[in-house]
Amino acid sequence: MGTEAAASIDAESAQRFAAGVRGRVLQQGDPGYDEARLVRNGLIDRHPALIVQCAGTADVVDAVDFARERGMVVSIRGGAHNVAGNAVNDGGIVIDLSAMRAVHVDPERKTARVQGGATWADVDGETQLWGLAAPGGQVSSTGVAGLTLHGGLGSLHRKYGLALDSLRSVEIVTADGRVRTASESVNPELFWAVRGAGSNFGVVTSFEFVLHPVGPEIYQAAPIFSLDDAPAVLRKYRDFCASAPDEMGPQAMFWSVPAVDDFPAELHGVPILVVLVVYSGDPDDGERLLQPVLEWGTPILDLSGRAPYTLAQSSFDAFFPFGGYYYWKSLLVGEPSDDLLDAIIDVAADRPSPEAIVNFWQLGGAIDRVAPDATAFAQRDARYLLSLDTSWFDPDASERCIDWTRRTWAAMQQRFATDRPYLNFVGFGEEKEALVRASYGANYERLVAAKTTYDPGNLFRMNNNIAPQGG
C-alpha cells in the first residue's frame, strides 16, 4: 500500500531538527527504524523519511512545525492498531507518541490524565487501582488515541457511553504548531470536532477522562454454542438485548475455536457462536441476571465466571498479534428481523478464515442518550454494530480475505438498507469522502468548517479525511 510521494528534506535540516528534540529521530538505516515503521497490521509496509519518537509536547510542536514548513505528509502514531496503517506513510514524517504513555489518576475527582500514546492496558492498569475505569476497547494493546477520537466501543458503552463521551478535555497541537486546550468551555468547537473526528484536527498529546466505578472484579457470561444452535440463540440474544440493563454490553461473536491449549484439542477449528456479556455492576447481580443466557442452547463450552476487570479487558489480546493480517469493516444497523438474523448466520458460515470474527454487538443505552449533534460522532441511534473482523495469519489468504470482506459488506449494506459505518472499523477507508459523509451525516458540513479553521492546509490527512473548504 503506497501513500503520497515523498517531500524532499535535506540532510542538514533533518540533523538540526533531530538535535533539537528530546526524543529519538529515526531515518532509514538507523538502528530501530525497521521496528518503528511497523504497525499491528502485517499488510502495511511503509518507509517514512523520518520517525520522531516524541518525548513530550515540545517535541510534537517541533515535529508539526518541521513537517508543515516542508509540506511533508504527516502520520500520527498512537497505538498503531489502525487497520489502514494511517499511523505510518511513505516518505513523510511519523509523529510517534509511543513513548508518551503516562497515566495519572486523581481518585478524589475521579479523573485521569492520559498521554497521547497510551494503550488501554496503561489506562486500566492505573485506574483499576482505585476501582475506576474509562470506557475503552477490548484488546488492551489498542491505543487510547485512535479508539477514543473516533468513537470507542468496549464492554461499558451502554452504561457510560462511547470512550469519547467520557472526555473532559484534551491538550492538542494544531496544524499551526500551537498547543491548545479543548473542553466544553475552552475552544468548544474544537472539542466538539475532536470527539468523533479527532485525527483531523491535530496531535492530541493528552486526554482528560472522567472515570466511573467498575471492578476490580466483574462477572461475564461467555457460553459457547455450536452453529446448529445459532438460529435459536441469535433470536434469544436479540430478545434479551431488547430489555438488557445498561450494565451489560452484549456481543454475539461467530468465530472458530482457536487452536491453543486453553481449548480442548478436539474442538480446535470448530465454528462457534460465543455470547459474551460483561456485567459492569455488582458481580453477584451479574451472575444472577445472566444465568438465563447459559440456557439459550446447549453450550459446548462455558467460560462464564468472575474475573478481574483487567483480565476481561485483555482476554482477547493473544488472538490479535502484532504482524497478523487485518481487514475489518462494519455497519451500524437497526433492530434485526428474523430474516436479517438468518442473513448474519449465512455470512458467519462463510467466513474466509478461522480467525475471522463476525460480531453482532449491541449498542444503545448511554450512547443514544447524547444528542447526535452534541459531538461530531453522529450515529448514536444505531441498535447494533455488525462488524466483519476479518483476521488471518496466512499471507497467501490476503486477497481472498479482503475480497470476501468487501463483498460481504456490500451485500449487508443492501440487506440492512444502510451505509453507516463505524469509523474505527473501515478497512482501508478506501471509500474516502463517501465514508465520512455516511458516518458524520448532518454533522459533516460543521466538521468541514472546523477543519477549515484549524487545518486549512489539510496537514492532518492520514485518516478518514475531512477535506477543508477549497482543499
Ligand X SMILES: Cc1cc2nc3c(=O)[nH]c(=O)nc-3n(C[C@H](O)[C@H](O)[C@H](O)COP(=O)(O)OP(=O)(O)OC[C@H]3O[C@@H](n4cnc5c(N)ncnc54)[C@H](O)[C@@H]3O)c2cc1C
Neighbours of 301 (CB within 10 A): 17
Near ligand X in 196-215, by CB under 6 A: 198-199, 203-204
Is residue 420 classed as helix, strand or coil in its secondary structure?
coil
Q: Are 137 and 409 in contact (CB under 8 A)?
A: no
**Span near ligand X by CB under 6 A; candidates 13-21, 25-33, 132-140, 270-278:** 132-140
Nearest to ligand X of 81, 236 (CB atom): 81
Cβ neighbors of 431 (< 8 A, separation 6 or more) are: none
Residues in contact with ligand X, shown as a per-residue x/- string from 150 to 169 under the rule CB under 6 A: -xxxx---------------
Should residue 52 be labelled a site residue for ligand X when binding is judged by CB under 6 A? no
Query: Minimum Å distance from CB 390 to ligand X?
Result: 11
Nearest Cα residue to 398 out of 466, 434, 450, 352 = 352
Should residue 421 be labelled a site residue for ligand X when binding is judged by CB under 6 A? no
Query: Minimum Å distance from CB 100 to ligand X?
Result: 8
Nearest to ligand X of 215, 427 (CB atom): 427
Cβ neighbors of 138 (< 8 A, separation 6 or more) are: 154, 155, 313, 316
What number of CA atoms fall less than 13 Å from residue 436's CA on the CB side? 23
**Span near ligand X by CB under 6 A; candidates 143-151, 228-236, 272-280, 300-308:** 143-151
**Span near ligand X by CB under 6 A; candidates 19-27, 149-157, 304-312, 364-372:** 149-157
DSSP 183: E
Q: Are 462 and 75 in contact (CB under 8 A)?
A: yes
The residue within the footprint of ligand X, chosen from 89, 187, 424, 443 (CB under 6 A), is 424
**Span near ligand X by CB under 6 A; candidates 2-10, 147-155, 353-361, 428-436:** 147-155
DSSP 336: P
Burial 396-419 (b: 16+ CB within 10 A, else e): ebeeebbebbbebbeebbebbebb
The residue within the footprint of ligand X, chosen from 3, 53, 57, 86 (CB under 6 A), is 86
C-alpha cell at 303: 467460560
Nearest to ligand X of 413, 464 (CB atom): 464
The phi and psi torsions of 305 (rounded to 5 degrees) equal 155, 180
Should residue 173 be labelled a site residue for ligand X when binding is judged by CB under 6 A? no
Should residue 435 be labelled a site residue for ligand X when binding is judged by CB under 6 A? no
Nearest Cα residue to 67 out of 174, 149, 143 = 174
* Residue 288: its H or E element: helix 283-290
The residue within the footprint of ligand X, chosen from 53, 127, 138, 313 (CB under 6 A), is 138
Should residue 451 be labelled a site residue for ligand X when binding is judged by CB under 6 A? no
Near ligand X in 229-258, by CB under 6 A: none
For ligand X, the nearest residue by Cβ is: 146
Query: Minimum Å distance from CB 47 to ligand X?
Result: 17
The residue within the footprint of ligand X, chosen from 23, 48, 79, 177 (CB under 6 A), is 79
DSSP 200: G
- Residue count of the chain, please give it: 471
Nearest to ligand X of 211, 462 (CB atom): 462
Q: What is the distance, to the nearest Å, from the Cα of residue 5 to the centroid of all Cα atoms in its chain? A: 28
Size of the site for ligand X (CB under 6 A): 36
- Please report, as ranges, the residues that interact with ligand X according to CB under 6 A: 40, 75-83, 86-87, 97, 116, 137-139, 142-143, 145-147, 149, 151-154, 198-199, 203-204, 320, 326, 424, 462-463
